[in-house]
Chains A and B, each alone.
Chain A
Amino acid sequence: AQSVAQPEDQVNVAEGNPLTVKCTYSVSGNPYLFWYVQYPNRGLQFLLKYITGDNLVKGSYGFEAEFNKSQTSFHLKKPSALVSDSALYFCAVTLYGNNRLAFGKGNQVVVIP
């Protein structure tokens, strides 16, 4: 079975400061990892993915994530947070060739002006 843990319910950060949203995963195989963002009353928007290759993945809107196999982590980062980054962030995992995403519970990010 595949699962994702997002240990923090809410992340508060001041505008302009670095933003980190944590994610750890558990799969019996090589994981495909994703980050999605959800704004109120909207569906999920794709941010970035890790399939293979370079452990540092760059995505949309200045976000990046680092895959760490030994720590089974895939933390999302942004060097300088914007107020508009305030949203719900989901980490997800699936196995090779499988469209069945397992999501974490989500992290509410609040960027304080």
Chain B
Amino acid sequence: KAGVTQTPRYLIKTRGQQVTLSCSPISGHRSVSWYQQTPGQGLQFLFEYFSETQRNKGNFPGRFSGRQFSNSRSEMNVSTLELGDSALYLCASSQRAGTGDYNEQFFGPGTRLTVL
């Protein structure tokens, strides 16, 4: 099976702009989670989508949003970019068979966002 893919791999934006990142999960995986990785804050959970519904949300401002499509692909959007949004954004997918079962999350290579 192909792994988790993320596009684009690198992105440069300026303050105030908005950006959309894309994630394609492993075939058959229905849960997609997003994480932000920075040197100062480490890895932080942004949100999780399952069957096109947001299931969990981390402690990020409303400028960070996401969605999931019927084919389980997911996008995240950051509006009004700030310098502090510069980070590696990682997407992870899992099967999420439901309550009583748990599967590990498989991560994509990430999108490196630089805000100037």
Q: Which residues of A contact B (CB under 8 A)?
A: 32, 34, 36, 41-46, 49, 51, 90, 92, 96-106
Contact = CB atoms under 8 A, between A and B. Distances in A.
B90 A99 contact: no
Interface in B57-90: 58, 90
A106 B33 CA distance: 19
Contacts of B105: 46, 99, 101
Contacts of B55: 99
A34 B33 CA distance: 16
B50 to A, nearest CB: 8
Contact of A100 (B4, B58, B100, B110): B58
B92 to A, nearest CB: 8
Contacts, number: 57
A43 B102 contact: no
Chain A, interface SS category: loop
A99 B109 contact: no
22 contacts: A43-B4, A43-B108, A43-B109, A44-B92, A44-B107, A45-B107, A49-B104, A92-B43, A97-B102, A99-B31, A99-B33, A99-B55, A99-B94, A100-B33, A100-B56, A101-B35, A101-B45, A101-B105, A102-B45, A103-B35, A103-B42, A103-B43
A111 B16 CA distance: 43
A34 B103 CA distance: 11
Nearest to A104: B42
A32 to B, nearest CB: 6
Given A43-B107, A43-B108, A43-B109, A100 B48 contact: yes
